[in-house]
Amino acid sequence: MTYIVNDSCIACKYTDCVEVCPVDCFYEGENMLVIHPDECIDCGVCEPECPADAIRPDTEPDMEKWVEFNRKYSELWPVIITKKDPLPEADERDGESGKLEKYFSEAPGEGG
């Protein structure tokens, strides 16, 4: 099992999760985070830290696409280990549906 970040993170990018991760497996895009599935040790400490409920175990139904999505972008984006402020529109976008199609950016974040 591994944990993944889904589209609930897009346009919010809360980073509470990165501070508790013992193996630094989070990677930062311009407007979301992902988890490298091969680096995640399945400890689960990140899941309850996410205010947007964007971190889920890959054992839930229909998670295969998110495992591959997280793998792809974790290999392109820089690692993030430091908590940062969420995006300015985070409160407004939290819980919105269809965020992958509306807002996703492939651009990397700053990392750090």
pLDDT digits (tens, 9 = 90+) for 72-103: 999 999 999 999 999 999 999 999 999 999 99
Residues 6+ apart with CB under 8 A from 13: 28, 31, 32, 33, 84, 86, 87, 90, 109
Exposure class string for 47-59: b at 16+ Cβ within 10 A, else e:
eebbebebbbebe
pLDDT band of residue 1 (cuts 50, 70, 90) is: confident
What's the CATH fold of domain 3-87? Alpha-Beta Plaits (3.30.70)
**pTM attached to this predicted model:** 0.96
Task: Return the domain boundaries, the chain.
Answer: 3-87
Average pLDDT, the chain: 97
Count of beta carbons in the 10 Å neighbourhood of residue 24:
12
Q: Where are the beta strands (DSSP E) in 1-112?
A: 3-5, 26-28, 33-35, 55-57
